[in-house]
Structure 1
Amino acid sequence: MSETPRTISDFAAAEELRVLSLKPVAAPVHGRYGGHPNQVYDLWPAEDPDAPLVVLLHGGYWRYDRMHLTPFAAHLARQGFTVALPGFRRMGGAGGYPATFDDIALALATVPQGRPYVLAGHCSGGHLALWAGARGLLPVDSPWYTTQLPDAILALAPVADLAGAIRAGLSNAAALELLGGPGLVEARLPLVDPLTLLRATGTTGVPTVVLHGAEDEELPPAQFTDYAAVHSDAELVTLPGTGHYVLIEPGSAASRSVVDTLARLSRPLAARTGRTPQ
């Protein structure tokens, strides 16, 4: 399926260029969660060793690397969070179905090291975060099935509906490429699409917030609203006058909403572990 030529406003184009042109920020700590060269993560420890942990999944339509999200990861660390930013196998290389999902599952089993955490993701990283929260709904014989789910999820302008993304041909049919092509969609979509996984139960049981901008020109609003309509206890937050990329721009008004939401989602975890809430 070919994508309708993308036309965006000058406002959205300027926002995209501004945010994606930010200089990458080197992390103070690097680690590995597997043997593949992409199975690595960056870590920004907060000054407080008991700070809430955020595992952050980057966007880029499952194609691009994590460097564009390093300024925001560093920003979150300055706001009092310990932040882990994993890499994973991506399309155009060794990734796509199933390798990308294998890596997310392995990273989440390894990187938090048993600590409670909020899983956050932007755009296609938001898709992976919502999918990770729904893994308890997978068939029990799936290699990705688990009952060890994230403690909370914040999906930032997520690709929440892969079928909808395929119909729209978003980013040159990225979702179709992720699944391996038209002939494989029917078999694979029910295993990796957050919306499809939810249809039978209506909830993952994981506290979930979907936060997006009202002026997002990257994704159709239905990506957010259709998901929230099916996930009965998910919270949908719409920020007026806000685009797609400004959510991950350090210091923006939208980023302050992200920080506030992460702090709110972290408070029950802090209370449960005896840590001091932020």
Structure 2
Amino acid sequence: MTSRAISAFAAQEEQRVLSLKPVLAPVHGRYGDHPHQVYDAWPAEDPGAPLVILLHGGYWRYDRMHLTPFAAYLSRQGFDVLLPGFRRSGGAGGYPETFDDVARIVDTLPAGRPYVLSGHCSGGHLALWCAARALLPEDSPWHTRELPTSVLALAPITDLTATRRDDLSDGAAVQLLGGEEPFARRLPLVDPLTLLRGAGTTGVPTVLLHGAVDEEVPLTQFADYAAVHEDLRTVILPGTGHYTLIEPDAPGARAVADTLWELSSAFGARRPGNDTRKAFQP
């Protein structure tokens, strides 16, 4: 997914994780009429299980299937897991459709339940953007004060200007915003780093977790975002790259699960027991 030179370690990690066989979810649903406006769900057996909504990466271009093994892994850790699709760059999405869909997902699918919103890479960008929607102008269609209960951003893209400057994934940020001409005009509405400047916080409990040897997203993105987010918690995993955060049973994925439990415990979630299986209620 990168246009940058990477080490053999990073190339092997990427190949290993992205070549995992997709996992079929037990529940599927729709939140809109477009073919991309769908979701997969892994319902938890325990009625007290916390809800985790996962936003997939892929530089806003690729579909959610590469994240299904990780979603299934989190389900085995006791979470109620929802993995939505959304309209994507290079096709039906980009600005504004991708943001319309993600806003619709978090505004409707939790149905009043507390939840942790988590995303990997560009999905982390979208999760951080969701946390910052109260900072948008009040006349923005995306402005809301109904924010995620908490956010866990996994190796996220935090700075679209730097993403353009570094030409990550062959111009992915420029493609997302519809080209060079509208880039600067649209940036303040969809860039987490820009939205935080001046505000200092989104008011949403937020953890940024990344690997110390991530070669996909430059480490400066994490540092620069942490410098402006006054109450951000940052977790750095030594010896960990970009993709092992979503590799089932890898140490990075176990750290993700542990952090999700920490965040969800703040709103009273408990580890699942042997209760009767419940139906997923989006």
Instruction: Please identify runs of 4+ aligned residues in structure 1 that moved more than 6 A.
Output: none
Residue by residue, what CA displacement relative to the aligned partner does 1:196-236 show, whole Å, maximum 9, x if unpaired? 00002100000000000010010110111100110000011
Q: Which residue of 1 aligns with 2:122?
A: 124
| Structure-2 separation of matches of 1:90 and 1:38 | 8
Q: Which residue of 2 aligns with 1:44?
A: 42
19, 22, 25: which one aligns with 1:24: 22
| Structure-1 separation of matches of 2:178 and 2:239 | 36
125, 145, 148: which one aligns with 2:146: 148
| Structure-2 separation of matches of 1:5 and 1:201 | 33
- State the 1:104 CA deviation: 0.2
Q: Which residue of 1 aligns with 2:201?
A: 203
2:169 match: secondary structure: helix
Give me the identity figure in percent: 69
Unpaired segments ≥5 residues, structure 1: none
72, 75, 80: which one aligns with 1:74: 72
| Structure-2 separation of matches of 1:277 and 1:152 | 18
TM-score (norm 2): 0.94
Residue by residue, what CA displacement relative to the aligned partner does 1:218-269 show, whole Å, maximum 9, x if unpaired? 0110111100110000011111000000000000011111001000000011
- State the 1:186 CA deviation: 1.5
- State the 1:109 CA deviation: 1.2
1:1-278 equivalence runs, <5 A: 6-270=4-268, 275-276=269-270
| Structure-2 separation of matches of 1:142 and 1:7 | 39
Residue by residue, what CA displacement relative to the aligned partner does 1:90-126 show, whole Å, maximum 9, x if unpaired? 0121000000000000111121111100000000000
How large is the RMSD of aligned CA atoms in angstroms?
1.1
| Structure-1 separation of matches of 2:93 and 2:127 | 17
The aligned amino acid for 2:23 is V
| Structure-1 separation of matches of 2:209 and 2:26 | 29
| Structure-1 separation of matches of 2:94 and 2:187 | 13
TM-score (norm 1): 0.96
| Structure-2 separation of matches of 1:5 and 1:20 | 16
**Cα pair 2:29 2:40 within 8 Å, conserved:** yes
Count of residues paired in the alignment: 271
